[in-house]
Amino acid sequence: MTSPKNTLYPKLFHRHQANPILTAADWPYPVHTVFNPGATLLGDGTTLLLCRVEDHRGHSHLCAARSANGIDGWVIDSEPTFLPDIANHPEEIWGVEDPRITYIEELNKYAVVYTAFSKGGPCVALAMTEDFRSFHRLGEIMTPDDKDAALIPKRIDGHFSLIHRPAYHATAHIWITSSVDLQNWGTHKLLLKARKGAWWDANKIGLSPPLIETARGWLMIYHGVRTTAAGALYRLGVALLALDDPQKCLLRGDAWIFGPETPYECHGDVDNVVFACGHTIGANGDTLNLYYGAADSCIALATGSISELLAWLDVHGSPEIH
Ligand code: BMA
């Protein structure tokens, strides 16, 4: 697929020709839009997407869709999979959004970190599941305004780590915090700062899908929000964090690597948005399947290569010092 814009930024991700792969029209019950899915591979190789579904009130819940090849043949739960539980968790009063899934091997469970939209603003919440049918909520783990969070799959120095994105007025940087029990969090550290001025990732950035483990470090795909006269532009960039100390950013790319280009990314409820909350890795250990919300309206798939992303960072990245 080519377009004139392709010459303007690197072609590290390739959109699937079947895009968008899931839309509201596919849903077994009435919904407004489906977007920003978390993603994981189940034990039998099935791709599971935990999709953000916006209803006709504007409130979101989560719904699971399963596919053998991660592209088509989706089997979508006939009812919402994870609805706000307002009686026990009032922080979910205005919905649950943007799930990021991490399989925690030592617990043999999937951690789902999501945004709970509370009356005090968006906050980070955590639920554990073994099967994406029943969930155990740990509740709100980061207070408002905070979102764009995911767990790192293994303990580092005995601690779980959570990447998250607190926001203050119009500024938002990426932070990392740690916990021994997933419930109590502390030792907050700044991980990656939004750049300033004309940069594509000035003022406001956030984690996109959960970190990707490579031999050279944790690969972090993050989004930058560029404020323009025509509204916000959501694009993706990449950085590499040290394996034993993910607070340390080894390389940060200069240009964005993926941005809105196609009609389904440029036009929807919110124009000019690509927003990725999930990925799966192919059997070769290198193919990266990025599942993303397009224009806050539908779900699309783009495929890249971990080794190509690392090679690109070697040329276009520089160490981050703050
Ligand atoms: C962000 C999040 C995402 C959304 C994006 C674009 O702040 O709320 O859920 O996709 O804005 O509207």
CATH number (domain holding residue 204): 2.115.10.20
Instruction: Please tell me what DSSP assigns to residue 216.
Output: T
* Residue at 3 is within a domain: no
Ligand 1 atom nearest 273 alpha carbon: 6
Residue 16 lies in a domain: no
- Whether residue 305 is contained in a domain is answered as yes
Helix (H, G, I), strand (E, B) or coil at 141: strand
Mean pLDDT along residues 224-228 = 94
Give the span between the Cα atoms of 124 and 45, in whole angstroms.
Answer: 29
State which ligand 1 atom lies nearest to the alpha carbon of 52.
9
Pocket of ligand 1 (CB under 6 A): 36, 97-98, 234, 270, 273, 275, 293, 296
Q: How far apart are CA 209 and CA 51, in angstroms?
A: 13
Number of domains in the chain: 1
- Residue 322 to residue 318: CA distance in whole angstroms: 13
pLDDT tens-digit map of 140-156: 999 999 999 999 999 99
Distance CA 180, CA 157 (A): 10
Is 309 inside any structural domain?
yes
- 65: domain range? 22-318
17 burial via Cβ count (<10 Å: 0-12, 13-18, 19+): exposed
> SS3 for 243?
coil
Answer yes or no: is 14 within a domain: no
Residue 1 lies in a domain: no
User: Distance, CA 122 to ligand 1 centroid (Å)?
Assistant: 11
All residues at 6 or more sequence positions from 82 whose CB lies less than 8 Å from its CB, including other chains = 50, 61, 62, 63, 96, 99, 112, 127, 135
DSSP structural state of residue 211: P
4 in any annotated domain: no
CA distances to 24, 141, 222 from 296, in Å: 11, 25, 17
Sign of the four-CA dihedral 68, 116, 108, 174? positive
Residue 318 token pair: 């520089």
List CB contacts of 62: < 8 A, sequence separation 6 or more.
38, 50, 51, 52, 53, 80, 81, 82, 96, 99, 112, 114
CA-closest residue to ligand 1 atom 4:
296
Give the separation between CA 182 and CA 159, rounded to whole angstroms.
9
The pick from 54, 234, 274 for probing ligand 1's pocket by mutation, whose C-beta has the most ligand atoms within 8 angstroms, reads 234
What does the pLDDT read at residue 170? 86
Nearest to 22 by CA among 319, 303, 300, 230: 300
Give pLDDT tens digits for 34-43: 999 999 999 9
Rounded CA-CA distance 150/176 in Å is: 10
Q: What percent of the chain has pLDDT over 90?
A: 94
Say what the pTM is. 0.96
Cα(186) to centroid(ligand 1), Å: 26
| 225 CA to centre of ligand 1 in angstroms | 10
What integer best gives the mean pLDDT of the chain?
96
pLDDT for 73 beyond 80: yes
Residue 167 carries which side chain, given as an amino acid letter? A
Taking alpha carbons only, the member of 93, 87, 25, 91 closest to residue 53 is 25
Query: Which pLDDT tens digit goes with each residue over 6-58?
Result: 555 568 999 999 999 999 999 999 999 999 999 999 999 999 999 999 999 99
- 303 domain residue, yes or no: yes
